[in-house]
Amino acid sequence: MIRMSSIASLSAVRRVPAAINEPVKSYAPGSLETVALKARLASMAAERVDIPIIIGGKEIRTGKTGTAVMPFDHGHVLADYHMASPEHVQQAIDAALAARREWASWPWEDRAAVILKAAELLATTYNTTLNAATMLGQAKTVYQAEIDAACELIDFWRFNAQYAQEIYCEQPANGPGVWNQLEYRGLEGFIYAVSPFNFTAIGGNLSSAPALMGNTAVWKPASTAVLSGYYVMKIFEAAGLPPGVINFVPGSAGAISDVVLNSPDLAGIHFTGSTEVFQGMWKTVGENISRYKTYPRLVGETGGKDFIIAHPSADPQAVAVAIVRGGFEYQGQKCSAASRVYIPQSLWSEVRDRTIAMMREIKMGDPRDFRNFMSAVIDKKAFDRISAYIGDAKQGAKILQGGGCDASKGYFIEPTLVETNNPAYRLLCEEIFGPVVTAYVYPDAKWHETLDILDRTSPYALTGAVFARERSAVREATSALRNAAGNFYINDKPTGAVVGQQPFGGARASGTNDKAGSKSNLTRWVSTRTIKETFVSATDYKYSFMAGE
């Protein structure tokens, strides 16, 4: 056995390969990637996977299980997953703390190599498996799965390695005879990573971004994305991530959080999900603050009420396409999905008619049929919530298109367009997280007032888009809506941020805006140590000015 002390670091200043975005595959009919993916979809649908908890590299089966089903065919069980008890959560914390000692001492280049290897494995061997798990388990069409489970996760991993290098390279100035250094230490303790159902990539990033920076984590995946989460863990293992660096702990969120948030060793929370859950965790951390050994870093990307505003000079067809793609892709279940639109009276009939014409063409169903543009929403809870909003719209507003809900086989909700003349109507204010877009038509002369209304209508500030051909209108909207969105789009839909190109995150009730997949995010997972070294130490306590008179 090799003793740790005998392992030398390479004598070299190493550089990670420059990050490039993973190309999005087209999945044209009959293409090689389509044939391979369809075969994996068929084999995965015929399996029933038994998903363990993974703590310290060991698979644990508790016997208390939940099921992962296909949202578009909820009678079809894809997997049984074992749920963690409070004892297992404590074991996961202990495993993370034990693994931290060695992992934090690795040269950062070796940690980066593990993450970069994970990216290459996902681009190759694991590509069809993770896409298939995301399509079947989270009801994504092939394109939505490809841009998430494959491309975005690969991009997170490649770009984070490059950003880590940039952080480590940032070093202070030196005085005469002095060498100043910054050491970017991982945090003292463990990180609690809690991920949502809607992006496979987010689970893989929330757990691994802190790990890259020398931390270890307890990762609680969403129960409705547990199958893809499990395969992400398999990729980490195949990439050589040491046992205990990321511990995979599915189960009841409340029960797991009770143990984690009470641990004195909690060093940070890396969360993406709803505003309510993040605020609840923040409150608990506040109540426990004197109990922790360090101030936990709280990083949370949360809900949205994302907008499109069109100026009278906008192109109506471009606005209609942005509403359809931005509002209904992945059934409106993107945190960035357009859900409120503000259209001038003069454009409304054209935008409305073009939008409705496209909506009537949309095919919805099983994502294995590649002609479908939409599939089911994630689960019964989501179905009930969205249906209730549609029920509300039937009373308090006008449903222009859609409105149908059917949960008999899968949790299907038609793409729905609602019109209201009340700018404070709840469907314009609250996050619905489903395929429901509400339009407010404003008099052309009230462009400035409408910008102001939009800014004040909802507590969120995640994404938004302005459509205009007049540059002055673009400037006015960009200025008036400065704080209304963390990701602001000009003449483009408000979804589809790409790692390395549009760093993602919002402010106000939408999160701490630490921008997933960016340098700012990675800086939250380090605690800097400043080291000053004086080459020739002072030997006289007196200063030269003391020699006079």
Q: Considering the rule CB under 6 A, would residue 464 count as an interface residue with ligand NAD?
A: no
Figure out which of the listed residues 44, 79, 99, 194 binds ligand NAD, where binding follows CB under 6 A. Answer: 194
Q: Is 488 in the site for ligand NAD (CB under 6 A)?
A: no
Which residues does 44 contact at the CB level (< 8 Å), separation at least 6? 78, 129, 132, 133, 136
**CB-side exposure of 137: number of CA atoms within 13 Å?**
31
Q: Is 149 in the site for ligand NAD (CB under 6 A)?
A: no
253 touches ligand NAD (CB under 6 A): yes
Residue 204 makes contact with ligand NAD by CB under 6 A: no
- Which residues partner with 180 through β-bridges? 532
Q: How far apart are CA 188 and CA 210, in angstroms?
A: 12
Q: Name the one range near ligand NAD by CB under 6 A: 13-21, 266-274, 324-332, 387-395.
A: 266-274
State the chain's maximal CA–CA distance in angstroms. 98
- For residues 515 and 176, the answer to whether their CB atoms sit within 8 Å is no
**Please, which of residues 290-349 interact with ligand NAD by CB under 6 A?**
301-304, 335
If one asks whether residue 280 binds ligand NAD (CB under 6 A), the answer comes out as yes
Structure tokens at 425: 């109507």
Measured from the CB atom, the residue of 419 and 431 that comes closer to ligand NAD is 431
Q: How far apart are alpha carbons 280 and 286 in whole angstroms? A: 10
Q: Of 228, 487, 510, 512, which lies in the binding site for ligand NAD, with binding defined by CB under 6 A? A: 510
Among 63, 176, 254, 548, binds ligand NAD (CB under 6 A): 254
Of the candidate spans 92-100, 270-278, 359-367, 526-534, the one that interacts with ligand NAD by CB under 6 A turns out to be 270-278
Is 141 a binding residue for ligand NAD by CB under 6 A? The answer is no
**Structural contact between residues 460 and 435, judged by C-beta atoms closer than 8 angstroms:** no
How many C-beta atoms lie closer than 10 Å to residue 430's C-beta? 16
CB of 504 to ligand NAD, least distance (A): 6
Where in 84-123 is the site for ligand NAD (CB under 6 A)? none
For ligand NAD, the closer of residues 473 and 516 by Cβ is: 516
Q: How far is the CB of 388 from ligand NAD (least distance, A)?
A: 16
Q: What is the contact mask toward ligand NAD in residues 218 to 237, using x (rule: CB under 6 A)?
A: --x-x---------------
Smallest distance from ligand NAD to CB 492, Å: 18
Q: Is residue 511 involved in binding ligand NAD (CB under 6 A)?
A: yes
Give the contacts of 126 (CB within 8 A, at least 6 positions apart): 231, 234, 235, 238
- State the burial class of residue 65 (Cβ atoms within 10 Å of its Cβ: 0-12, 13-18, 19+): middle
The binder of ligand NAD chosen from 277, 341, 374, 405 (CB under 6 A): 277
The alpha carbons of the chain give a radius of gyration, in whole angstroms, of 25
- Is residue 268 within the footprint of ligand NAD (CB under 6 A)? no
Q: Residue 322 Cβ, how far from ligand NAD at the closest point, in Å? A: 19
Minimum CB separation from ligand NAD for residue 180, in Å?
Answer: 36
Q: Which stretch binds ligand NAD (CB under 6 A): 59-67, 129-137, 153-161, 193-201?
A: 193-201
Decide if 480 contacts 455 (C-beta within 8 A): yes
> In the annotation, is 120 catalytic?
no
Decide if residue 248 touches ligand NAD (CB under 6 A). no
Q: What sign has the CA pseudo-torsion 120, 501, 485, 308? A: negative
Torsion sign (Cα): 250, 253, 259, 262? positive
198 is a contact residue toward ligand NAD (CB under 6 A): yes
433 binds ligand NAD (CB under 6 A): yes
**267 residue type, one letter:** A
Site size for ligand NAD (CB under 6 A): 31
Give the x/- contact pattern for ligand NAD in 378-417, rule: CB under 6 A: ----------------------------------------
Instruction: Pick the catalytic residue from 22, 152, 329, 335.
Output: 335
Edge-to-edge order in the sheet of strand 246-248: 58-60, 53-55, 246-248, 217-220, 190-194, 266-272, 297-301
**CB within 8 Å of 156: residues ≥ 6 apart:** 201, 204, 205, 208, 209, 499, 516, 517
Under rule CB under 6 A, residue 137 binds ligand NAD: no
Q: How far is the CB of 392 from ligand NAD (least distance, A)?
A: 19
Distances (CA, A) of 425 to 214, 336, 340, 395: 47, 20, 11, 12
- Catalytic: 301? yes
Give least dist CB 7 to ligand NAD, A. Answer: 37
Pairing of β 65-70 and β 398-401: unpaired
Q: How far is residue 48 CA from its own chain's centroid?
A: 27
From 22, 146, 152, 301, the catalytic residue: 301
Which residues of the shown chain bind ligand NAD in the complex (CB under 6 A)? Answer: 194-199, 202, 220, 222, 253-254, 257, 272-274, 277, 280-281, 301-304, 335, 431, 433, 462, 504-506, 510-511
Q: Which positions are catalytic?
A: 301, 335
